[in-house]
Amino acid sequence: MPDAIERQVAEIQPGSPVFPMFMADGFFVSRMLPKRLGDADLPILPPLGFDASLPDLAADRVKKTLVDMGWNEAQSHLLLAAHGSAKGPKAAESARAFQNALSKRFDALKISVGFVEEAPFISDAGMGLPPQSLCLPFFALEGDHCRQDIPEAIETAGFSGFTLPPIGTWNETAKLVANALTRGS
């Protein structure tokens, strides 16, 4: 929204941290946000997708969902649905780093990643997955990608599993953000 950030800057106490609700440190977080904050004394924290607690939080949610569904980890699959970008590598790098961190928290769960804006696309990554599959949207908010693009892509793939809400919408994620703001890091 034009000038929304600039209007908020005038009302924020100097030294208050800014927490980017993004999964990567791409163009907006690394270039546009500092520019729009101007000379304000507002430190920018790492974006949500970089929070060190996020893989544990996601692993706990995935494990609970597998138990709730009565699914065995070794026979299940997790499709990480991420944004990606046709303009640069940072969004995909962030998703792949998260995929790698998440995979270390499971003994047998297979995890693949698919993107909205670049290969491998979600529709390709979702093809041939077992019925015991979860789709985890690696998104901070539930916008058009989560409401339209991801459902269309997994339908095209013939995905018959269960889709979790986007990570940024979880109650536990709000606590994670509050903790990051309290720490200021």
What are the residue boundaries of the structural domains of the chain, listed by start? 4-47, 50-169
* Distant-in-sequence, close-in-space partners of 39: CB < 8 Å, separation ≥ 6: none
Strands 162-163 and 77-82 turn out to be unpaired
Give the C-alpha separation, 138 to 164, whole Å. Answer: 10
Give the C-alpha separation, 114 to 102, whole Å. Answer: 15
Q: What is the 3-state secondary structure (H, E, C) of 26-79?
A: CHHHHHHHHHHHCCCCCCECCCHHHCCCHHHHHHHHHHHHHHHHCCCHHHCEEE
What's the confidence (pLDDT) of residue 14?
Answer: 93
What's the confidence (pLDDT) of residue 179?
Answer: 94
Q: Which CATH architecture has domain 50-169?
A: 3-Layer(aba) Sandwich (3.40)
pLDDT values of the chain reduced to their tens digit, one per residue, 185 residues: 788 899 999 899 999 999 999 999 998 999 999 999 999 999 999 999 999 999 999 999 999 999 999 999 999 999 999 999 988 899 999 999 999 999 999 999 999 999 999 999 999 999 999 999 999 999 999 999 999 999 999 999 999 999 999 999 999 999 999 999 998 85
What's the confidence (pLDDT) of residue 10?
Answer: 87
Give the C-alpha separation, 131 to 84, whole Å. Answer: 25
What's the confidence (pLDDT) of residue 73?
Answer: 97
What's the confidence (pLDDT) of residue 109?
Answer: 98
- Please report where in the chains the tokens 């990570």 appear, as a residue: 167
| pTM score | 0.93
What's the confidence (pLDDT) of residue 92?
Answer: 96
What's the confidence (pLDDT) of residue 185?
Answer: 54
Q: What is the 3-state secondary structure (H, E, C) of 32-45?
A: HHHHHHCCCCCCEC
What's the confidence (pLDDT) of residue 59?
Answer: 98
* Distant-in-sequence, close-in-space partners of 59: CB < 8 Å, separation ≥ 6: 102, 105, 106
